[in-house]
């Protein structure tokens, strides 16, 4: 399909939102020598795949997840979001907000297959692709495979081809660094495009609430609020020394992003940092043997993922959420690597023993393995099980 035909497939609204900045973008990109970073974010990805594959769900409020009383929403369609339904919300709360909400179980194999199609489209333009999840990625198109000088044009082509080949929509953010590109991708959702030029960057950051910044989670945003830091302008007013004192190693990152500066490269070789699984139970757990029984299938799921990809880890983390939603974690790092599923069972069980006895019920358990590395044919050293 030609570039012209691809761009014609982009909806009129998206093209109108993009054309207002086209001249400025072209001048900026061709004259400053800045990097050209695109952040692609699929729109309500899991729910959109379900609506695409099941016509009966189209136009209706859909939640991907479990409808059971103690279930959790994994993703919500835009129709559901209008009622305030969002990911990570307890299913019972979601149903209360939207009585007509339709729950569908997740189909991760289907989502992974679509993600592979999307990444193949990315690869037509650049090898510098840094996946963040199945539904989003950074692309560095400064020096791209098709020699197209304007990042906006590339983003429009990618969005159009995704829509043509998958019948799904994507939003794109374009800027001169990763931080701003990710901020930009959320500005015109769904099915939109937004550009932050070098001249726009600092002022754009100053006006935004810090809770919208990638890398500033809810707990950090609350801490910043207690310190009187509500906006990008407030953050920029702080010294580097002050931010380091209050936020440790994250302080320099906050200092620079408040100025629209982010030198992090797009890493095509970005490795997965951890593999985990968790589950919320229909009834609370009070005894250790019941907890062990519920933990075992989670361990099997984590190990199967690692085994299929020939990766091993050194650190095991147990996550426990109680009935009152208090959450704790326990971790153990072993020497060498964990070489067998039963070793993972042993370490996880030892961590579970640290939690019991409990005075309140456990509603969720999770297990994660991190400090990952590729498995060698002859490991130098297996783990030392000193529990």
Gap between the Cα atoms of 7 and 159, Å rounded: 9
379 falls within a domain? no
CA dihedral 21, 32, 5, 165 (to 10 degrees): -100
Higher pLDDT, 381 or 368: 368
pLDDT one-digit tens code per residue, 274-298: 899 998 888 999 999 999 999 999 9
- Say whether both 157 and 16 belong to one domain: yes
- Say whether both 360 and 319 belong to one domain: yes
The total number of structural domains that make up the chain = 3
- Say whether both 39 and 67 belong to one domain: yes
Question: What percent of the chain lies above the pLDDT cut of 70?
Answer: 87
Gap between the Cα atoms of 162 and 168, Å rounded: 7
10 falls within a domain? yes
Q: What is the pLDDT of residue 33?
A: 61
Tokens 């103690």 label which residue?
A: 70
Domain final residue, candidates 230, 257, 284: 257
End-to-end CA distance of the chain: 60
Domain of 171, CATH number, reads: 3.30.70.270
Domain final residue, candidates 155, 173, 199: 199
pLDDT one-digit tens code per residue, 234-264: 999 999 999 999 999 999 999 999 999 999 9
Asked if residues 147 and 179 have their Cβ atoms less than 8 Å apart, the reply is: no
- Say whether both 246 and 352 belong to one domain: no
Q: What is the pLDDT of residue 375?
A: 66
262 falls within a domain? no
Domain hosting 333: range is 274-374
- Say whether both 16 and 153 belong to one domain: yes
Other C-beta atoms closer than 10 Å to the C-beta of 109 total 7
- Say whether both 218 and 292 belong to one domain: no
Laid out side by side, the sheet with 102-104 consists of 73-76, 62-65, 102-104
Question: Residue range 320-326: average pLDDT?
Answer: 92
- Say whether both 29 and 174 belong to one domain: yes
- Say whether both 155 and 9 belong to one domain: yes
Counting every residue, how long is the chain? 387
pLDDT one-digit tens code per residue, 8-23: 444 433 433 443 444 4
CB proximity list for 248: less than 8 A, separation 6 or greater? none
Gap between the Cα atoms of 384 and 241, Å rounded: 41
Domain final residue, candidates 155, 170, 199: 199
Q: Pick the closest to residue 368 from 329, 326, 334, 335 (CA basis).
A: 329
- Say whether both 209 and 348 belong to one domain: no
Catalytic sites, residue numbers: 136
Domain of 300, CATH number, reads: 3.30.1490.100
Q: What is the pLDDT of residue 270?
A: 67
Domain of 252, CATH number, reads: 1.10.150.20
Which runs of consecutive H residues, i.e. helices, occur in the chain? 3-8, 12-32, 45-53, 78-81, 91-97, 108-123, 151-166, 178-185, 201-207, 218-226, 232-236, 240-247, 251-257, 288-308, 341-355
269 falls within a domain? no
- Say whether both 171 and 108 belong to one domain: yes
- Say whether both 218 and 323 belong to one domain: no
Token pair listed for 118: 């999307």
382 falls within a domain? no
**3-state class of 101 per DSSP?**
coil
Asked if residues 37 and 179 have their Cβ atoms less than 8 Å apart, the reply is: no
264 falls within a domain? no
380 falls within a domain? no
345 falls within a domain? yes
Asked if residues 126 and 37 have their Cβ atoms less than 8 Å apart, the reply is: no
- Say whether both 208 and 252 belong to one domain: yes
Burial 359-368 (b: 16+ CB within 10 A, else e): eeebbbbbbb
Question: Residue range 298-308: average pLDDT?
Answer: 89
Question: Residue range 321-344: average pLDDT?
Answer: 88
């Amino acid at each position: 399909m030609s570039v012209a035909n691809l761009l014609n497939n982009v909806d009129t609204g998206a093209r109108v939102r993009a054309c207002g900045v086209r001249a400025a973008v072209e001048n900026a990109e061709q004259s400053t020598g800045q990097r050209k970073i695109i952040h692609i974010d699929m729109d309500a990805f899991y729910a959109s795949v379900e609506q695409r594959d099941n016509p009966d769900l189209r136009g209706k409020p859909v939640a991907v997840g479990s409808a059971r009383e103690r279930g959790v929403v994994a993703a919500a369609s835009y129709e559901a979001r209008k009622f305030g339904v969002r990911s990570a919300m307890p299913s019972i709360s979601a149903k209360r907000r939207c009585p007509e909400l339709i729950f569908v179980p997740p189909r991760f194999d289907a989502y992974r297959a679509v993600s592979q199609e999307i990444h193949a489209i990315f690869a037509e333009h650049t090898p510098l692709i840094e996946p963040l999840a199945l539904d989003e990625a950074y692309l560095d198109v400064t020096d791209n495979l098709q020699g197209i000088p304007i990042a906006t044009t590339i983003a429009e082509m990618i969005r159009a081809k995704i829509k043509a080949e998958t019948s799904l929509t994507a939003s794109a953010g374009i800027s001169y660094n990763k931080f701003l590109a990710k901020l930009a991708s959320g500005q015109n959702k769904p099915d939109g495009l937004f550009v932050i030029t070098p001249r726009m960057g600092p002022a754009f950051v100053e006006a935004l609430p810090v809770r919208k910044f990638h890398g500033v989670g809810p707990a950090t945003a609350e801490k910043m609020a207690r310190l009187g830091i509500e906006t990008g302008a407030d953050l920029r007013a702080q010294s580097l020394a002050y931010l380091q004192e209050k936020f440790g190693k994250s302080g320099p990152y906050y200092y620079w992003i408040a100025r629209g500066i982010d030198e992090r490269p797009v890493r095509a070789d970005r490795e997965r940092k951890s593999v985990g699984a968790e589950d919320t139970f229909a009834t609370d757990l009070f005894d250790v043997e019941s907890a062990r029984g519920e933990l075992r299938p989670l361990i099997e799921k984590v190990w199967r993922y690692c085994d299929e990809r020939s990766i091993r880890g050194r650190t095991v983390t147990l996550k426990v959420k109680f009935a009152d939603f208090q959450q704790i974690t326990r971790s153990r790092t072993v020497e060498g690597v964990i070489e067998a599923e039963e070793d993972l069972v042993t370490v996880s069980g030892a961590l579970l023993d640290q939690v019991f006895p409990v005075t309140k019920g456990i509603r969720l358990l999770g297990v994660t393995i991190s400090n990952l590395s590729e498995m060698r044919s002859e490991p130098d050293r297996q783990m030392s099980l000193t529990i």
